[in-house]
Amino acid sequence: MEEPVDTATAILASAAVLLRERTFDDISYRALADEVGISERTIYRQYPTRAHLLAALSNWLEQAFFPLPPFVTVSDFCAAVHERFRAFDALPAYAYVGARASAISPTIDIEPAYITRAIEAMLDVAAPTLNRRDRRRVAASLRYFSSAMFWARLRTGFDLDAGEICDAFDRAVGTVLARLPEATWATP
């Protein structure tokens, strides 16, 4: 017996199906309503603007197709991001939705994303004496380097594949972390 799916999830799952055939811009609320089997008005009730739909779809795709494996150390973080970039290469249409969603203004006030909290926690362990301002600055940089936006810019702007993007990611992370004072790092 299949579990019932709520309307919002059905809309997002149907949008993902349509993304296999067309771009996000080419998915109308009418086509989405027809795919789900509901009225267009119901789509608007759930997602009043395309920005709302894009943000929700991006979050749903992230959880369903690109979950970031847990990490505690910097090397675990790098390995998790490498896995994520390979997943982006396997499903580029979905990754591009994430990249595009990160470029728009937030449609709702939300707490910091899981990845931000996880990176800050990793830095608390790896660099325990790092001050709060620098920890947030480094975490923001690492979050960007691990994002669909970073992947998409390198993929479309320079025609790099996942392996090459991973190399660029490693260099960027290494450069940022190398700027931290030696005394901030925990001794093993």
Distance CA 84, CA 166 (A): 10
Same domain membership, residue 171 and residue 78: yes
Distance CA 19, CA 93 (A): 7
Domain count, the chain: 2
pTM: 0.85
Could you give the CA distance from residue 44 to residue 36 in angstroms, rounded to a whole number?
13
Res 31: pLDDT: 93
Q: Are 41 and 1 in the same domain? A: yes
Going residue by residue through the chain, which has 188 residues, state the pLDDT in tens, using 9 for 90 and above.
455 568 999 999 999 999 888 989 999 999 999 999 999 999 999 999 999 999 899 989 988 999 888 899 999 999 999 999 999 999 999 999 989 888 775 555 555 577 888 999 999 999 999 998 999 999 999 999 999 999 999 999 999 999 999 999 999 999 999 998 887 887 76
The DSSP annotation for 35-72 comes to HHTS-HHHHHHH-SSHHHHHHHHHHHHHHHH-PPPP-S
pLDDT value at position 6? 87
pLDDT of amino acid 154 = 97
CATH number at residue 39: 1.10.10.60
pLDDT at residue number 87:
96
**Cα–Cα dist 83/124, whole Å:** 23
Instruction: Verify that 71 and 6 share a domain, yes or no.
Output: no
pLDDT confidence of residue 35: 92
Statement to judge: residues 95 and 167 lie in one domain: yes
Q: Is the dihedral of CA 11, 12, 16, 21 positive or negative?
A: positive
Q: Answer yes or no: do 100 and 155 share one domain.
A: yes
d(CA 124, CA 117): 10
CB atoms within 10 A of CB 101: 23
Residue 29, domain extent: 1-48
* Domain match, 69 and 155 both: yes
Same domain assignment for residues 29 and 67:
no
- What six digits make up the tokens of 173? 């992370």
